C-alpha cells in the first residue's frame, strides 16, 4: 500500500507528509475540491476539468472511458482533508476553504421551466454572476434558447427583455442560438436599437456582449449581417469611448474585433469611427483587451481611410508610432508591428520616429525570440522598411543577419 509522500513545494510546511489518498492523482498536490467521476476515481476539480477541457475522454487512472462528465463533490474526503489540515496547523498547514459548489443543473432547468418572469430571470442572472462554474452549467442550448426567446420576443415587456439580455451577456451564445439571433432581421435590428437608443449603459453593454457572442459563434456571412445592421457598429464604438467604464470598453473592443474578422465590415467600422476610437484607447494605455484592440487596428489600417483614422485617433503620426512601439510586446506584438507597417510605410519622417522610439530593439527581440513564424515575418518586413532610417554608424544597420529566414 502506498505510503505518505512529501508535501508539494509552495506550501510552507517543512517536514510534513501528506497521505497519498489526499493528493490528486493528476497534479499530485493536496486536493482543495475533491470530486468523483463516473469511474469512481476522485480528483481535484481544477485538475480533472483541465484534463477534460483538453479533449481527454478517459479516466486518467483507470483509462476507462468516462460514461459522462458529471463531477460529484466528495464531501467526506474534503472534510477529512480539512480535519487533517487543522490537526497540522501548528506545522504551518493552512486549512483549505470549503469550495462553493456550482449551481445545481436541476435548479437551472427549474428556473428556465418557470417561463418568462422577473424573479426567475434575476435568479439566473445572480447565478451567472457568481462564478465561471455556474456559467458553464448554464451554457446549455435549452437555457440559451429560452433566454433568446425572451430577450427578443415580441410579447415580453422591455424589463423582461433587458433582464434576459443581461443573462445572455453572461452565458454567451452557441452556434445554434447565434443562428436564431442573426437569422432574424428584427432581432439584429433590436440589438442595434438597444446599442444606440441612449438607454442605461448596462443595457447597452449587455447588447454589445450579445453582439460579440453572436459574431464569435458565427461565420463571415453572419458577421457581415451584424456589422451592416443599423446602429451596431456605432454602438460598439460608443462603448469603446466609455473610458470610465472598464467593462464597456472591453465589450466594445471584443465586439469590434469579432466583426472586423469579416472584410466587409472594415470600411463600415472605419466610417463609424472604430479605427480612431481603438487607436485612442491603445495610445492612452486604456485598452482592456490590448491584443484584440491591436488586431482590430491592424485590420482597419488596411481599409480605405483606416490608416489616417488610426493616426488621428492616436493624436498624430509621432504619437501613433510611439504607442505602437510601446505595445510591441507579448502576444500583442505581432499586431502592433503589422499596424506600424501601415502607419510608417509612406513616411520617412515617421520611420525615423519609429527608430527613435525604440522599434529596432523590439523588432530584433521578436525575430530572435519565441514568436510565431507570422510574427517574425512581420518583424523582418518592418526591419527592412526601417533600415534606411537607422543611423549609418549603427553596425546592425549594415548587417543582413537579422533578415535571414527562420
Residue 174 has pLDDT above 60, yes or no: yes
Considering the domain architecture, whether residues 87 and 106 belong to the same structural domain is answered as: no
Considering the domain architecture, whether residues 236 and 119 belong to the same structural domain is answered as: no
Question: For 304, left (φ over 0), alpha (ψ -120 to 50), or beta?
Answer: beta
Q: How confident is the model at residue 4 (pLDDT cuts 50, 70, 90)?
A: very low
pLDDT tens, 102-160? 888 999 999 999 888 899 999 999 999 998 889 989 999 999 999 999 999 887 788 99
Give a yes or no: residue 39 inside a domain.
yes
What integer is the mean pLDDT of 392-404? 50
Measure Cα distances from 359 to 171, 229, 246, 382 in Å: 41, 39, 29, 9
Considering the domain architecture, whether residues 235 and 296 belong to the same structural domain is answered as: yes
What integer is the mean pLDDT of 303-328? 93
Please name every residue paired with 6 in a beta bridge, in sequence order, or none if there are none: 17
Q: Domain of 364?
A: 333-388
- The residue among 335, 346, 344 whose CA lies nearest residue 378 is 335
Considering the domain architecture, whether residues 241 and 264 belong to the same structural domain is answered as: yes
pLDDT mean across residues, the chain: 88
Q: Using CA atoms, how far apart are residues 30 and 122, in angstroms rounded to an integer?
A: 37
Considering the domain architecture, whether residues 191 and 278 belong to the same structural domain is answered as: yes
Q: Which has more pLDDT, 402 or 272?
A: 272
Considering the domain architecture, whether residues 290 and 339 belong to the same structural domain is answered as: no
What integer is the mean pLDDT of 344-367? 88
Last residue of a domain, one of 172, 198, 229: 172
Number of neighbours of residue 179 by Cβ within 10 angstroms: 15
Considering the domain architecture, whether residues 311 and 341 belong to the same structural domain is answered as: no
Last residue of a domain, one of 49, 67, 91: 91
State the pLDDT at residue 7.
46
DSSP state of 264: T
Q: What's the structural domain count of the chain? A: 4
Considering the domain architecture, whether residues 303 and 191 belong to the same structural domain is answered as: yes
Considering the domain architecture, whether residues 160 and 192 belong to the same structural domain is answered as: no
pTM for the predicted model, two decimal places: 0.78
Output the CA torsion 247→253→257→258 (10° steps).
30
State the pLDDT at residue 15.
66
For 250, the grid coordinates are 472591453
Residue 402 has pLDDT above 60, yes or no: no
Give a yes or no: residue 154 inside a domain.
yes
Give a yes or no: residue 328 inside a domain.
no
275: domain CATH number?
1.25.10.10
Considering the domain architecture, whether residues 83 and 55 belong to the same structural domain is answered as: yes
Complete DSSP assignment for 189-249: HHHHHHHHS---HHHHHHHHHHHHHHHHTS-HHHHHHHHHSTTHHHHHHHHHT-TT-HHHH
Give the ranges where 88-174 is alpha helix by DSSP (H): 105-113, 118-130, 132-138, 141-152, 158-171
Give a yes or no: residue 7 inside a domain.
no
Considering the domain architecture, whether residues 213 and 272 belong to the same structural domain is answered as: yes
Give a yes or no: residue 167 inside a domain.
yes
Backbone φ and ψ for 295, nearest 5 degrees, come out as -65, -40
Give a yes or no: residue 327 inside a domain.
no
Backbone φ and ψ for 24, nearest 5 degrees, come out as -70, 130
State the pLDDT at residue 14.
52
Residue 393 has pLDDT above 80, yes or no: no
Give a yes or no: residue 11 inside a domain.
no
Give a yes or no: residue 31 inside a domain.
yes
Q: What is the CA radius of gyration of the chain?
A: 26
Considering the domain architecture, whether residues 236 and 306 belong to the same structural domain is answered as: yes
Around 26, how many Cα atoms within 13 Å sit in the side-chain half-sphere? 20
Amino acid at each position: 500500500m502506498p505510503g505518505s509522500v512529501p508535501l508539494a513545494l509552495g506550501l510552507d510546511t517543512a517536514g510534513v507528509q501528506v497521505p497519498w489518498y489526499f493528493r490528486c492523482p493528476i497534479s499530485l498536490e493536496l486536493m482543495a475540491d475533491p470530486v468523483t467521476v463516473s469511474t469512481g476515481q476522485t480528483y481535484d476539480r481544477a485538475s480533472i476539468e483541465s484534463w477534460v477541457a483538453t479533449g481527454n475522454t478517459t479516466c486518467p487512472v483507470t483509462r476507462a472511458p468516462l460514461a459522462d462528465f458529471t463531477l460529484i463533490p466528495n464531501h467526506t474526503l474534503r472534510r477529512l482533508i480539512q480535519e487533517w489540515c487543522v490537526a497540522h496547523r501548528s506545522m504551518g498547514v493552512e486549512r483549505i476553504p470549503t469550495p462553493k459548489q456550482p449551481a445545481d443543473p436541476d435548479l437551472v432547468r427549474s428556473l428556465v421551466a418557470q417561463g418568462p418572469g422577473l424573479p426567475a430571470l434575476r435568479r439566473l442572472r445572480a447565478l451567472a454572476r457568481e462564478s465561471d462554474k455556474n456559467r458553464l452549467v448554464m451554457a446549455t442550448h435549452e437555457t440559451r434558447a429560452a433566454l433568446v426567446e425572451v430577450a427578443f420576443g415580441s410579447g415580453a415587456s422591455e424589463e423582461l427583455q433587458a433582464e434576459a439580455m443581461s443573462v445572455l451577456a453572461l452565458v454567451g451564445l452557441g452556434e445554434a442560438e447565434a443562428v436564431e439571433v442573426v437569422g432574424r432581421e428584427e432581432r439584429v435590428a433590436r440589438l442595434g436599437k438597444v446599442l444606440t437608443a441612449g438607454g442605461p449603459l448596462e443595457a447597452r453593454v449587455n447588447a454589445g456582449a450579445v453582439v460579440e457572442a453572436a459574431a464569435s459563434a458565427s461565420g463571415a456571412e453572419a458577421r457581415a449581417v451584424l456589422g451592416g445592421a443599423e446602429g451596431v457598429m456605432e454602438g460598439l464604438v460608443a462603448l469603446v469611448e466609455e473610458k470610465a467604464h472598464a467593462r464597456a470598453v472591453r465589450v466594445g473592443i471584443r465586439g469590434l474585433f469579432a466583426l472586423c474578422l469579416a472584410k466587409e465590415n472594415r470600411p463600415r467600422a472605419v466610417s463609424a469611427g472604430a479605427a480612431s476610437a481603438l487607436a485612442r484607447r491603445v495610445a492612452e494605455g486604456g485598452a482592456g483587451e490590448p491584443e484584440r484592440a491591436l488586431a482590430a487596428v491592424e485590420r482597419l489600417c488596411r481599409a480605405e481611410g483606416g490608416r489616417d483614422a488610426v493616426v488621428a485617433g492616436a493624436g498624430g503620426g509621432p504619437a501613433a508610432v510611439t504607442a505602437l512601439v510601446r505595445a510591441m510586446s507579448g502576444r500583442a506584438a505581432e499586431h502592433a508591428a503589422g499596424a506600424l507597417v501601415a502607419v510608417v510605410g509612406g513616411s520617412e519622417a515617421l520611420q525615423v520616429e519609429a527608430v527613435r522610439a525604440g522599434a529596432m530593439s523590439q523588432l530584433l527581440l521578436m525575430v530572435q525570440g519565441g514568436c510565431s513564424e507570422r510574427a517574425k515575418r512581420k518583424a523582418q518586413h518592418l526591419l527592412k522598411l526601417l533600415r534606411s532610417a537607422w543611423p549609418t554608424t549603427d553596425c546592425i544597420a549594415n548587417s543582413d543577419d537579422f533578415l535571414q529566414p527562420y
